[in-house]
Amino acid sequence: MTSAPPTASRARTPRASLNRAGLAYAVSAYALWGFLPIYFIALAPTTPVEIVAWRILLSLVFCALLIALTRSWRTFAGLLRDRRVVLIMGAAGALIFVNWLTYVFAAVSGQVVEAALGYFINPIVTVFLGVLVLRERLNAVQWTAVGISIVAVVVLAVGYGQVPWIALVLAFSFGFYGLIKKHVGPRVDAVSGLTLETAWLAPLAAVLLVVEGLTTGLTMGTEGTWHTVLLLAAGAVTAIPLLLFAAASRRLPLIYMGFIQYFAPFIQFLVGVVILNEPMPLERWIGFGLVWIALVVLAFDLARGARAARRAALAAL
């Protein structure tokens, strides 16, 4: 039995370590997003409006520092000269503002479980938007997943006597946000994208802080040192998971990212149920159960498609 040539061994090693690094980046990003509600709850008594306003402004500052440290101003300036990209990122900024405000409101008002539901159904909403917006065709398995998720929303609405609007706003705002990011493609990296989005939102954030200061009053610097440090960390807390996500996306196949994305809502669900003791009546368990079944169906279709693509690639060799 002969050993593998040294060159082959060296060729495999970097690839393996690269995949492990990508997996670590992806898990870290989604784990940080999963525990984000605890961070927002720790900012009490700051209102959702003030939290989001500081999050916008401090994210802009944090991203500007990153661009300066990485000397990426030339790349960023090139994006600024493209009016189409700038306008598209303005639309992305509007969607992420709605998403952030809804999510923070859910966290501080004791509705973390419903926020988790929003991110559980987001992949299904993304598939649905592909049909409505991109005119994509779904196969029978994908339609089954969409149908089950619609039944789940109906069950939750009937059980609670109202539509789970927080979950739907989060799912659709992030779904449309994903469509926009797909439209600009890899041309706009994570830092430049977030910089452009928050630059568009910065004037709105400044106005919100002025209004908040004149009405309920700002909490920045008034609730103790620890609270101030946490609030000042909003920019880093926002940008770091995005950077980890971008690093993972460049290293891992899409199918791995598709499965790992469920880490965040699963952790959020555990935070809501186990740590915050949010109620889970029978109709909510049934609704979540249906959503999880839909995700299993969707994951099965994703895995089947990936296997078919690999077989086609091997046959073409």
In a domain, 25, yes or no: no
Q: Report the pLDDT value the prediction gives residue 12, as an integer from 0 to 100.
A: 45
Q: Report the pLDDT value the prediction gives residue 301, as an integer from 0 to 100.
A: 78
In a domain, 18, yes or no: no
Q: Report the pLDDT value the prediction gives residue 52, as an integer from 0 to 100.
A: 95
Question: In which domain, by residue range, is 159 found?
Answer: 40-316
pLDDT digits (tens, 9 = 90+) for 50-85: 999 999 999 999 999 989 888 888 888 888 888 888
Q: Report the pLDDT value the prediction gives residue 5, as an integer from 0 to 100.
A: 44
- Average pLDDT estimate for 284-313: 79
In a domain, 31, yes or no: no
48 compared with 255, residue with greater pLDDT: 48
Q: Report the pLDDT value the prediction gives residue 56, as an integer from 0 to 100.
A: 94
Q: For CA atoms 185, 190, 191, 193, give the dihedral sign.
A: positive
In a domain, 181, yes or no: yes
**For residue 172, is pLDDT > 70?**
yes
- Average pLDDT estimate for 154-183: 84
In a domain, 19, yes or no: no
- Average pLDDT estimate for 102-118: 92
Listed in sequence order, the residues at least 6 apart from 68 whose beta carbon sits closer than 8 Å to its beta carbon are none
pLDDT digits (tens, 9 = 90+) for 114-149: 999 888 888 888 777 877 777 777 778 878 888 888
pLDDT digits (tens, 9 = 90+) for 196-247: 999 999 999 999 999 999 998 899 988 889 999 999 999 899 888 888 887 7
In a domain, 27, yes or no: no
In a domain, 33, yes or no: no
pLDDT digits (tens, 9 = 90+) for 248-296: 877 776 666 767 778 888 899 999 999 999 888 888 888 888 888 988 8
Query: Which has the minimum average pLDDT: 3-12, 17-26, 170-179?
Result: 3-12
Please tell me the pTM assigned to this model.
Answer: 0.83
Q: For CA atoms 69, 75, 78, 82, give the dihedral sign.
A: negative
Q: Report the pLDDT value the prediction gives residue 254, as an integer from 0 to 100.
A: 60
Q: Report the pLDDT value the prediction gives residue 4, as an integer from 0 to 100.
A: 46
- Average pLDDT estimate for 16-39: 81
In a domain, 13, yes or no: no
Query: Which has the minimum average pLDDT: 45-49, 161-165, 183-187, 254-258?
Result: 254-258
Q: Report the pLDDT value the prediction gives residue 75, as an integer from 0 to 100.
A: 85
Instruction: Assign 11 a pLDDT band (cuts: 50, 70, 90).
Output: very low
Instruction: Assign 192 a pLDDT band (cuts: 50, 70, 90).
Output: confident
313 compared with 164, residue with greater pLDDT: 164
CB 228 within 8 Å of CB 221: yes
Total domains present in the chain: 1
